[in-house]
Amino acid sequence: MQGMGKQSPANVTINDVASHAGVGKGTVSRVLNGGGNVSAATRSRVEAAIADLGYAPSYAAQSLARGRLATVVVVVPFVTHPSAVTRVQGIIEGLRPSGTPVSILDVETPEHARGQFLMLLGSLRPEGVIVVSLTPDGDVRRRLLEADFPVVWIDAKVQGHVSLFIDNAEGGRLAADHLLSLGHEAIAFIGDDEAHSGFGFTSAAERLRGVTSALAERGLELRNCLTGPHSKDVARELAVQLLTGRDRPTGIVTTSDTQAVGVLAAARELGIDVPGELSVVGFDDVEIAESAGLTTIRQPIAESGRRAAQLITSLAGGDKPSRRHVALPLQLVVRRSTGAAPTAPVQQPATTTG
Amino acid sequence: MQGMGKQSPANVTINDVASHAGVGKGTVSRVLNGGGNVSAATRSRVEAAIADLGYAPSYAAQSLARGRLATVVVVVPFVTHPSAVTRVQGIIEGLRPSGTPVSILDVETPEHARGQFLMLLGSLRPEGVIVVSLTPDGDVRRRLLEADFPVVWIDAKVQGHVSLFIDNAEGGRLAADHLLSLGHEAIAFIGDDEAHSGFGFTSAAERLRGVTSALAERGLELRNCLTGPHSKDVARELAVQLLTGRDRPTGIVTTSDTQAVGVLAAARELGIDVPGELSVVGFDDVEIAESAGLTTIRQPIAESGRRAAQLITSLAGGDKPSRRHVALPLQLVVRRSTGAAPTAPVQQPATTTG
DNA sequence: TTGTATGCGTTATCAG
DNA sequence: CTGATAACGCATACAA
C-alpha cells in the first residue's frame, strides 16, 4: 500500500529548503516574500537551495496562511457575448504584468449569480473581484463592499463601489443624431429584451431613451421599437418584420453589433441595399463591426477590462481609489452601413383616407 | 496579543458550525463531504447550523488539506485569437455543471509558458489542466504526465497524454479539393509564420502540406505561398501582394478565418470581385466566418473545449480514458466566398519567351 | 455513529 | 538578523 510511499514528485516544501540551506523555515519565507531582514549571505544560501530543489511555494498553503487567494476573480454573465469576451481579454492583459491568475466565474441566471457571489465571499476570498455587467442584490453588494478584498465593477454604476461604465443614453443619442444628420426621419430601434433576462439590466432601455430624446429634439418620434433576446438571429427576424411591414424605416439603431449584423443579414435577404435604402447603427465596436463595415458606437471594451485590472492591482496593493466612478468615453465610428436617407420614400405609405 | 488577530469579518469556520450544532468538527466535515456515516438527526442539525451561520468552507483550507485546488486550469496562448476564445468558452460551458472554477493562464512566449507550467506543477496543483495549442518541452510533458492531476491537450497530439486534435493536412486537402472542383488551378496559400512564434506550432505547415498534395494529385503546383504573423491586417497585406503580382491566383487558401477576412478586405480594396474573380477559403469556422459569408473548413472548436472539460471531470473522478487520442471531425462549409473559377484568365500572364 | 488529534505548507509573531 | 512556534481552516485516521 504505502510501501510505495509516494512516487509522485513528493513535492518539496519550505522545510526541505530550510534544512537544505541550514536555516529555519521562517528565514526561507522571508527571502521568498518581502525579504526585509535577511543577510546577503543567508539569502543567497536560501536562494541556492530553492533553485537546487526546484522549490515552489504551495499556493493553497500560502492562501490559507495569508487569508486570501492570489487570484483575481471575474464574474461575468454571457461569456459567449463578444463584448464579454473582449472585456475578459482586457482583464487578462491588464493582469499579465502581475502574473496573477484569473478565475472566470460564469453566471447564467440571477440565482446562479447570487450563488457565485456567496461562494466568492465565503469560500474563495480572492485577491480581488471584477464584476462585469451585473448588479446583484443589495445585501450581496453590501457584503462585497465590506469584504476585505477590492471589487471593481465594469458596465455598472454601483453606489459606494469603484466602477467603470458608459453613458448609455448618450450612446443612443450619438447613434440617433448620426442618422438624423444624414436626413433620416423614419428610425426604428432593435434592442435587448432585458426585462426577461432577470438580471435587471437597463442599458438597452437607457440607450433607447437616448434615441427617443434625440428624435424628440427634432420633433420626431421613433418609428418602431422591437426587442427580443440578445442574438444575431433574433435581431435578423425582428429586422425582417420591420423591413417588410408597412412603415419601413430608413434607419435602424441597435443595442449591439451582434444585432446590427443580424439586421444586415435581413437586409441582404430582402434585397434591401445598405446603406442605399437602409442605414444601420450598431453598438460596442467589437471586432466583427469592422469586417462587417458597421457604423457603430464605440465603447472601449478591452480598455475597460485593462483598467479594471489595473485598478484591482492598485487597490489590492493598498491604494485608495482616486475616483469611485469613471465614465468611459463613447465615440461614433462611421463605416459603410450608414448613408444619406433615401431621397424618395423607399416605400410609399398608403395615404390614409382624408 | 492574538486576540486582535483580525478585525475582518471573522469568517465563520467549521468550528463555529460544530459548536453551534453541538457536534465535533469532524462530523461537520463529514456532512459537507461524502457524508457517509452521519445519522439523519445529526446531519440535519449540522445542516441547520450551516444555513444559520451562512457557513461556506474555506477554499484555501480545503485545498491545503486535500492537497489540490478545486480549479481547472486552462493554459492557452493568444487568448486574443477568436478560436482560443471559443475554446475557452467551450471549456467553461463544459465545466459549468460541476461548478468548478476555471483559471486562465495566458502565455505569450515559450519561456513564459514554461514558467506557467512549472508554477502549475509546483505551486498550483489544480484538479486538472487543459492545455490548448501548446506542446511544451519534453521534461515538462513528462512531469505533466506524472502529475497527480489529469491533463487534457487540445489541438495537440501528445505521446501518452489524452488529446483532442484535428488532421490539419486533411483540412488543407478539403480546402484545396473544393477549389479544384470549382475549376481553380491558380491557387495560393496564406498562412501563419509559425517558425517565428517559437512555440513550434506545425498546424499551418501541415495544412499547407494537405493543399500541395491535393494539387499534386491533379498535377498542379501551388501558385504562391506567403506567410506572416497571424493577423487580419498582415493577411490583407499579403493578399494585396498576391493580387497585384504577376501570377494572380483565382483561389486563396488561408489557415484561419481571421486571415481569410483579411484577404476579403484586400479584394474589396482592389475592386476584385469575390467570388467572381477570386475565391477564398478560411479555416476554423469561427463566428465571423458566417457573417463574412466565408467558405471555410469547420473544426468543432467550442465542442473541443466542452469535450476536454468533460474529460477532465471524468478523469479527475478517477475514470480511465477510453481512448488517449481523439481526432475531431473536419468539414467543408461552403458560403459566398468561393465560386467557379473565372472562365477567362483574369489577368493574362505574359507568355514567356519560348 | 461521533468526537479528538494530527497533518497540510505557509505566514507571522516572538523571543533570542 | 534568525530560529522556534503558534495560527490558518479543513480533512482524516484513530479512538471511543
| Phi, psi dihedral angles at B221 (to 5 degrees) | -120, 155
8 A C-beta contact, residue B203 and residue B284: no
Architecture of domain B168-300: 3-Layer(aba) Sandwich (3.40)
Q: Of A127, A148, A220, whose CA–CA distance to A180 is shortest? A: A220
Q: Give the A:B interface size as CB pairs under 8 Å.
A: 131
Strand D–CB A41 distance below 7 A? yes
Which of B8, B60, B146 comes nearest A60 by C-beta?
Answer: B60
Per the model's pLDDT, the better-predicted residue between A7 and A126 turns out to be A126
Contact B125 A58 (CB under 8 A): yes
pLDDT tops 90 at residue A354:
no
| Separation of B38 CA and C2 C1' (Å) | 8
Q: What percentage of chain A carries pLDDT values higher than 90?
A: 80
> How close, in Å, is residue B217 to chain A by CA atoms?
35
Q: What is the model's pLDDT at position B247?
A: 87
The CA distance from A351 to the nearest CA of chain B, in Å, is 38
Give B124 CA → C16 C1' in Å: 36
Looking at residue B1, its pLDDT comes to 31
Confidence of residue B31 (pLDDT cuts 50, 70, 90): very high
Distances (CA, A) of B292 to A38, B79, B266, B316: 61, 22, 14, 40
Let me know if the fold of A9-57 is the same as that of A68-166+301-328: no
Closest CB to A79 among B9, B71, B89: B89
Task: List, for residues A299-331, the tens digit of each pLDDT value.
Answer: 999 999 999 999 999 999 889 998 999 999 999
- Tell me: the pLDDT tens digits for A186-215? 999 999 988 878 888 999 999 999 999 999
Radius of gyration of chain B (CA): 27
Of A25-39, B47-61, B245-259, the range with the lowest mean pLDDT is A25-39
Looking at CATH, the fold of the domain delimited by B9-57 is given as 434 Repressor (Amino-terminal Domain) (1.10.260)
According to the model, what pLDDT value does residue A198 have?
A: 84
Bridge-based pairing of strands A295-298 and A331-333 is: antiparallel
Rounded to whole angstroms, how far apart are CA atoms B254 and B265?
14
> Structural domain boundaries of chain B?
9-57, 68-166+301-328, 168-300
Protein chain B, residues 30-89, with a C-beta closer than 7 Å to any atom of nucleic acid strand D: 30, 32-33, 55, 57-58, 61-62, 64-66
What are φ and ψ of residue B91, in 5° steps?
-65, -50
pLDDT at B34: 72
User: Is pLDDT at A34 greater than 90 in this prediction?
Assistant: no
Least confident of A123-127, A155-159, B273-277, B346-350: B346-350
CB neighbourhood size of B138 (10 A):
9
A292 and B287 in contact by Cβ < 8 A?
Answer: no
In strand D, which positions have an atom below 7 A from any protein CB?
A: 1-14
Flag if B108 and A96 touch (Cβ within 8 Å): yes
Interatomic separation, CA of residue B24 and C1' of nucleotide C4, rounded (Å)? 8
pLDDT at A10: 56
Instruction: Indicate the CATH number for domain A68-166+301-328.
Output: 3.40.50.2300
A245-CA/C12-C1' distance, Å: 72
- pLDDT category at B200 given cuts 50, 70, 90 is confident
CB atoms inside a 10 Å sphere around CB A160: 11
pLDDT exceeds cutoff 70 at A348: no
Closest CA to B282 of B170, B172, B134, B132: B172
Q: Is the pLDDT of residue A90 over 80?
A: yes
Instruction: With beta carbons under 8 A apart, name residues in chain B contacting A130.
Output: none
Residue of B nearest to A103 (CA): B103
Round to the nearest angstrom and report the end-to-end CA distance of chain B.
99
Please give the pLDDT value at position B351: 43
Residue A1: predicted pLDDT: 31
Is A10 or B126 the better-scoring residue by pLDDT? Answer: B126
Distance (Å, whole) CA A166 – CA A151: 18
- Contact assignment for A92 to B104 by CB distance below 8 Å: yes
Burial class for B5, CB neighbours closer than 10 Å (0-12, 13-18, 19+): exposed
- Count H helices and E strands in chain A, helices first: 13, 12
* Average pLDDT of the residues in B243-247: 92
**Shortest CA to C1' contact from A122: nucleotide:** D9
